Structure 1
Amino acid sequence: MYLHDLFYFMILISQLNIVESNCSHLELCTCDINEVICDANYGNQTEHINFSLFTSLPSVDSYYFRNFNEIPAYAFQNLTFLSNHAITIHLINVKVIRSNALSTSMIIPDKSTISINIELSTNASSITLQSNAFNGIKINRLRFFNINNFNGRPIFDTNCFGENLQIGQLIFEQSGITGFSTAAQKSTTVKYLRIHACPAFTQLTSKSLPSFLSTTESLEISNTGLQLINAYTFQSESLVLKELIIRDNSNFQMFSSNIVDGVLKHLEKLDLSNNPIDALVENYDWSAYSYAKHLVLKQQQIDLFLKTKILNTLKHLRVIDFSEGFIQEDNKDFIQNYFPDMPHLLSLNVSNANFTENMIANLLGRLSNSINQTVTISLLGHTLHDRDFCLFYKIFQKTSNLLQLELDETHECNCIVDLFYNDKNESVAIDVTLKEPICLLNNTRARCDIPSQSIISKCPIDKPNPSGPGTNGNYGLAVALIGVGVTILMILIASGSVIAYRRRRGDRRSTVIDMEKPIENPLTVIMAQRSHVSH
């Protein structure tokens, strides 16, 4: 074993020596086993301010190139990249990226991915991106950070993207971007576009959208200065959007019903969380999003949206997130009025929303009318009390373990908890990621006697409760046996009646009265007897 460990230790030392030797002749670079850092400020600034075509850099996970005036064409053609690795190139405080700087001249192994991070840490946060600077390659993640101007303007010119460019994620973060130039029409695909923490991004129009948006599956605009999305900004027929995420924008108060022209037929997720939307027209038309399966309205005024019948229009919803939201309307019929039957629902999150316990019971009762598969209800921040046991007991009887509750770990193990966490049937899939009261792990605790509690709470019993902790497992069996006994008794009574009838019929056949012969008239017999006496 000692020789085996020593062998691998020597290999590691040799690799470190190789890495160090590969950088020993480069004045501008330092290397270790995981990263290479090349900085123009390491040497004489007047001599080394331009990027060199490095020919002997080791193969590592991360490359940092800092403080160079420009990245020339085919700058990375001599680099050998690791196979089966996630590789990142960081370009920091670079002023110009020339055409074909990041292009097909880069040989990227099939099982490797490459990400590019471009950022400025200086006050002069402007960069020049020449046409086709990114050309013909597949980039896993392209991120622009802390850049206020692109080619001297806050508008990103997509002409820097060349032909057959594939970008998994395109991210603008802490940037001064205000929109995109749509002049260039090239075969660039961007799967995910994220604009985050960009305060100058205040308005979205059809003219400020990038031409590659027709290839984008996910659009996120978050924590920006967004105030307005113009009418018909999104032309649905040209889009394949699966996710539309507009969240955490502190100035976005108006979400107009006509920002989409048509119906987003590929849409799966709509997220409007934590925007200060304070008004929606009563007859708001949600049909543009009617294919959505996932609705997220975290930290929103929930009743404002529900009054527009959003749940009636989005008929395919499987996941709904109302967590940390609030309701202003105090209406006992709120749940009944605004929650329709949702047969496709798989998950509903109302954690830390200001739902009353009675509203939660009504909500679970409403869902129990239409569910036909396990539905997870997240109720973090809520407490369910035994005083409302009958409400939840009735729901449990109807759902037969189809409702899976998520409660705080600190929630007490009362009768409602024992009712819904009743050693779930093996056939019910349990989500182990869900929180549950930690007291359930205590196997020595006294569990609730559900039948006794139902009597104490004066619950109307419609049908026996499925067996579980605190219930009599033979109770349901006894009821079944009683039913069988009654059935057998009825059969015996019927059989006895048939036998008695047949015996009576046999006795009647042995008497003078024979139903197969006509009955003799008694008056005729008497008259015959009198005639015989007189003679």
Structure 2
Amino acid sequence: MMLPLTLLIFVLISQFDSIQSSCQKNPLCRYNGHLMTITCNSKFAQNNITLPTPDISCFPPVNTYVFLNFEQIQAYTFYNLTFPANETFTIKLLNVSTIESDTFSETISLPNSSQLSIEIGEAGTVTDITIKPNAFNQIKIHRLHFLNLNTFNGHSTFDTNAFGNNLQIDVLLFDQCNLTSFSNLSSNTTVNKLILRNSPSFTQLTSKTVPSFLPTIKSLEISTTGLQSIDAHTFQAWSLILEEFILTNNSNLESFPPAIVDGVLMKLNKVDISDNSIKMVDANYDWLPYSYTKDLALKNQQLDLFLRSNMLKMLPFLQKIDLSGGYLGDDDENLFKSFFPNLTNLTSLDISYTNLTETMIIDVLTKLSQTTTRFVDIYLRGQHLTDENFCSYFTVYKNAPSLLNLFLDQSHPCNCIVELFYRDTVPETRINNSMSHPACLLDSSRQRCNIQAQISVSNCQIGAQKPDTSDGDNDLGDYAFGAVVAGVVVVLLVMLSLGYGVYQIRRRRNTVLTMEQPVENPQTAIVEERLSV
């Protein structure tokens, strides 16, 4: 037993000595087998001698490579490194001045099952960086993160010439950078997701400042920037495959820019315009370019601006709507009745922590109950549903029994409304989330509401409710539909008449007359009768 253990210790010590001896020529780097990192720092050099980028191929594979305080990262620095399969790797360049061409290129042999992320810059230090042409070339990068960079090649414009051919980036993130625009030099680069975040210098987006790889982007996020405007015709829908458009928390964006998209974004699934300072939306805004949207978020926005622009009516495929934290600028009780359309695909609606009145909430629930054929989750946190409106809620429930799942605050009392919709049950999914249901539902000793008695006390009309399947502005469509039906009936009657006439003609033509019994002439019979008298 002792012999194998001794042998194992000897092998480990020998391996460590081998690493130390083979890397003695590399005094700038430190290997940490416990953290699986290699850290190279130019300040490790004796007498502050400036040395080129060190060779790290002598070290065993690790998950994280860190380079600090180097004037430049030379080409092919990561050549001959071993990257095992099914692993994630990160290369961090902190306080680095220059990245040479082909630093990150096809010379990095990365298995298809592994992922490589690159972080350039650090939160605590503002850096000016020079990135040579084709510094990133013919390689697949999972996440390329530029952090706290003041200038790129001496400018606030990111030069896309740094991206070479056949470059694939899953996520490209600019965070806390003094970035104002992109050069749109052509390059064969694919970027799935572009994120601009925490960049106050980014104030305007135009067709001339969008990156050349825009047609490859599936998700575009511009959040917490100084964005004030987006020029008209900035996006040409025919050339885009955009699936997500996220424009959030931009405090200087006071008007939602019109006509920024030419055409219709056919692949668009999600639009998030939350937490901006939008104070104006054109009442005739053309939402057609976004008409394929399935997921819409307008959190912490003035909701009536968007509703009055007929936004929801122009997005017929909506499945999820998040209006939480939003507010109304006026007290028009008919707002939702007028501008909340039939959304037959809807599966989730969040109107939590809004200033909607209970009448508005009832209008929304009524509309949904009359049109939905599927389960709809309705989040009403921060709202209080009262028994004074029990009959309205009862009508909603009767229209769509068990189809509307209400999510209320934990502190909401177990009144008759709660008893009606929860029916004395708490689904397991709600038990797992204490904020998804009133806590009193878990109290088996509580005094329950007698629904039948409440119906009687409230004088509720329990007759069948006729669903309202119109949007209020579709009366002309209803008349047109009736006219079409009447026209079809008339055409069918005419066709039946013609068919019957043709049938009679053909029947007469096909009649066979036999002469065994000659047909008697009536006039001859009369003459014979008179002669016989």
TM range (shorter): 0.7 to 0.9
Match of 1:328 in 2: 329
Match of 1:29 in 2: 29
In structure 1, list runs of 5 or more residues that go unmatched: 465-535
Do the aligned partners of 2:125 and 2:148 also contact (CA within 8 Å) in 1?
no
Larger Rg: 1
Distance in 2 between the 1:13 and 1:215 partners? Answer: 54
Match of 2:365 in 1: 364
Q: Secondary structure at the match of 2:305?
A: helix
The one-letter amino acid of 1:22's match is I
Do the aligned partners of 1:226 and 1:252 also contact (CA within 8 Å) in 2?
yes
1:315 matched to 2:312: no
Distance in 2 between the 1:219 and 1:271 partners? Answer: 10
Distance in 2 between the 1:62 and 1:295 partners? Answer: 38
Distance in 2 between the 1:21 and 1:299 partners? Answer: 60
Query: Which whole-Å deviations, capped at 9, do the CAs of 1:339-373 have from their partners, x for residues lacking one?
Result: 01110111111111111122111210111111110
Match of 1:134 in 2: 136
Task: After TM superposition, list the pairs within 5 Å mapping 1:107-122 onto structure 2.
Answer: 107-120=109-122
Deviation at 1:92, TM superposition (A): 0.6
Do the aligned partners of 1:61 and 1:82 also contact (CA within 8 Å) in 2?
no
Match of 2:71 in 1: 69
Deviation at 1:47, TM superposition (A): 2.8
Distance in 2 between the 1:304 and 1:56 partners? Answer: 63
Task: After TM superposition, list the pairs within 5 Å mapping 1:198-277 onto structure 2.
Answer: 198-277=199-278
The one-letter amino acid of 2:19's match is N
Q: Secondary structure at the match of 2:225?
A: coil
Do the aligned partners of 1:99 and 1:130 also contact (CA within 8 Å) in 2?
yes
Do the aligned partners of 1:60 and 1:82 also contact (CA within 8 Å) in 2?
no
The one-letter amino acid of 2:154's match is G
Deviation at 1:463, TM superposition (A): 6.3
Distance in 2 between the 1:78 and 1:94 partners? Answer: 22
Deviation at 1:48, TM superposition (A): 4.6
Do the aligned partners of 1:257 and 1:286 also contact (CA within 8 Å) in 2?
no
Match of 2:155 in 1: 153
Distance in 2 between the 1:45 and 1:129 partners? Answer: 29
Match of 1:385 in 2: 386
The one-letter amino acid of 1:294's match is D
The one-letter amino acid of 1:455's match is S
Task: After TM superposition, list the pairs within 5 Å mapping 1:157-196 onto structure 2.
Answer: 157-183=159-185, 185-196=186-197
Do the aligned partners of 1:401 and 1:424 also contact (CA within 8 Å) in 2?
no
When residues 371 and 45 of structure 1 are mapped into structure 2, their CA distance, relative to the original with a 3 A threshold, is farther
Distance in 1 between the 2:9 and 2:403 partners? Answer: 55
Deviation at 1:109, TM superposition (A): 1.9
Deviation at 1:424, TM superposition (A): 6.0
Distance in 2 between the 1:136 and 1:50 partners? Answer: 24
Distance in 1 between the 2:170 and 2:156 partners? Answer: 23
When residues 14 and 368 of structure 1 are mapped into structure 2, their CA distance, relative to the original with a 3 A threshold, is farther
Q: What CA RMSD, in Å, does the superposition of the two structures yield over aligned residues?
A: 2.6
Distance in 2 between the 1:16 and 1:32 partners? Answer: 13
Identity between Structure 1 and Structure 2 (%): 42
1:288 matched to 2:293: no
Do the aligned partners of 2:430 and 2:436 also contact (CA within 8 Å) in 1?
no
Distance in 2 between the 1:440 and 1:13 partners? Answer: 65
Task: After TM superposition, list the pairs within 5 Å mapping 1:449-528 onto structure 2.
Answer: 449-462=450-463
Do the aligned partners of 1:20 and 1:32 also contact (CA within 8 Å) in 2?
no
When residues 28 and 348 of structure 1 are mapped into structure 2, their CA distance, relative to the original with a 3 A threshold, is same
Deviation at 1:22, TM superposition (A): 3.4
Deviation at 1:111, TM superposition (A): 1.4
Match of 1:414 in 2: 415
Deviation at 1:241, TM superposition (A): 0.5
When residues 457 and 16 of structure 1 are mapped into structure 2, their CA distance, relative to the original with a 3 A threshold, is farther
Distance in 2 between the 1:121 and 1:351 partners? Answer: 35
454-463 vs 307-316, which moves further: 454-463
Do the aligned partners of 1:68 and 1:93 also contact (CA within 8 Å) in 2?
yes
TM-score (norm 1): 0.80
Match of 1:374 in 2: 375
Task: After TM superposition, list the pairs within 5 Å mapping 1:416-455 onto structure 2.
Answer: 416-422=417-423, 435-455=436-456
The one-letter amino acid of 1:242's match is E
Distance in 2 between the 1:436 and 1:158 partners? Answer: 51
Deviation at 1:423, TM superposition (A): 5.3
When residues 459 and 38 of structure 1 are mapped into structure 2, their CA distance, relative to the original with a 3 A threshold, is same
Deviation at 1:21, TM superposition (A): 6.4
Query: Which whole-Å deviations, capped at 9, do the CAs of 1:25-55 have from their partners, x for residues lacking one?
Result: 4432231333222211122264354211212
Match of 1:499 in 2: none
The one-letter amino acid of 1:101's match is T
The one-letter amino acid of 1:163's match is N
Deviation at 1:82, TM superposition (A): 3.1
When residues 425 and 41 of structure 1 are mapped into structure 2, their CA distance, relative to the original with a 3 A threshold, is closer
Q: Secondary structure at the match of 2:119?
A: strand
Do the aligned partners of 2:334 and 2:360 also contact (CA within 8 Å) in 1?
no
The one-letter amino acid of 2:440's match is C
Distance in 2 between the 1:281 and 1:175 partners? Answer: 32
Query: Which whole-Å deviations, capped at 9, do the CAs of 1:390-440 have from their partners, x for residues lacking one?
Result: 2211111111111011111222222211211125699x9989667112222
Match of 1:342 in 2: 343
The one-letter amino acid of 1:457's match is S
Distance in 1 between the 2:13 and 2:380 partners? Answer: 53
Q: Secondary structure at the match of 1:166?
A: strand
Match of 1:304 in 2: 305
The one-letter amino acid of 2:379's match is S
Distance in 1 between the 2:9 and 2:451 partners? Answer: 64
Distance in 2 between the 1:292 and 1:321 partners? Answer: 13
Match of 2:108 in 1: 106
Distance in 2 between the 1:289 and 1:243 partners? Answer: 11
326-335 vs 453-462, which moves further: 453-462
When residues 356 and 12 of structure 1 are mapped into structure 2, their CA distance, relative to the original with a 3 A threshold, is farther
Q: Secondary structure at the match of 1:417?
A: helix
Distance in 1 between the 2:44 and 2:320 partners? Answer: 54
Distance in 2 between the 1:170 and 1:329 partners? Answer: 41
Counterpart of 2:53 (choices 46, 51, 54) is 51
The one-letter amino acid of 1:145's match is L
Counterpart of 1:91 (choices 61, 81, 93) is 93
When residues 16 and 397 of structure 1 are mapped into structure 2, their CA distance, relative to the original with a 3 A threshold, is farther
Deviation at 1:212, TM superposition (A): 0.4
Do the aligned partners of 2:129 and 2:152 also contact (CA within 8 Å) in 1?
yes
Q: Secondary structure at the match of 2:233?
A: coil
Q: Secondary structure at the match of 2:337?
A: helix
Aligned length: 456
Do the aligned partners of 1:53 and 1:78 also contact (CA within 8 Å) in 2?
no
Q: Secondary structure at the match of 1:87?
A: strand
Deviation at 1:148, TM superposition (A): 1.4
